[in-house]
Amino acid sequence: MTTITFDTLKFANTLKAAGVPSAQAEAEAVALSEVLEVNLRDLVTKEDMHRDMRDLEQRLVIKLGALIAVAIGIVAALVKLF
């Protein structure tokens, strides 16, 4: 899984430079870091997408094969009938 680093010190210093009080800037940096950590943990990766697409492709091939088999059976039954 890809990790994304969040520089809380740089973020807090940027807020302080913009005039945000020191304690508030540090608290916001910690809070944002925690939110990013929780949300990025469940982030879908390309590998997850490829696996899902392979599963979907396999199910589609099976269903299409079954549909073709049923269609051939119907055509064969109709040929025998007429």
Q: Both 3 and 39 in a single domain? A: yes
Structural domain harbouring 36: 1-43
Q: Contact at 8 Å (CB) between 45 and 1?
A: yes
For the cut 70, the answer to whether the pLDDT of residue 2 exceeds it is no
Q: Both 35 and 50 in a single domain? A: no
* 3-state SS class at 8: helix
pTM given for the model: 0.51
* pLDDT, tens digit, 9 for 90 and up, residues 38-79: 888 778 888 889 999 999 999 999 999 999 999 999 999 999
Number of structural domains the chain divides into: 2
Q: Both 68 and 37 in a single domain? A: no
Q: Both 37 and 9 in a single domain? A: yes
For the cut 60, the answer to whether the pLDDT of residue 80 exceeds it is yes
Q: Both 14 and 39 in a single domain? A: yes
Q: How far apart are CA 45 and CA 2, in angstroms?
A: 8
Q: Find the mean pLDDT for residues 5-33.
A: 94
Q: Both 38 and 49 in a single domain? A: no
Q: Give me the sign of the Cα torsion angle 68, 70, 76, 78.
A: negative
Give me the pLDDT at residue 81, please. 87
φ, ψ at 18 (rounded to 5°): -85, 0
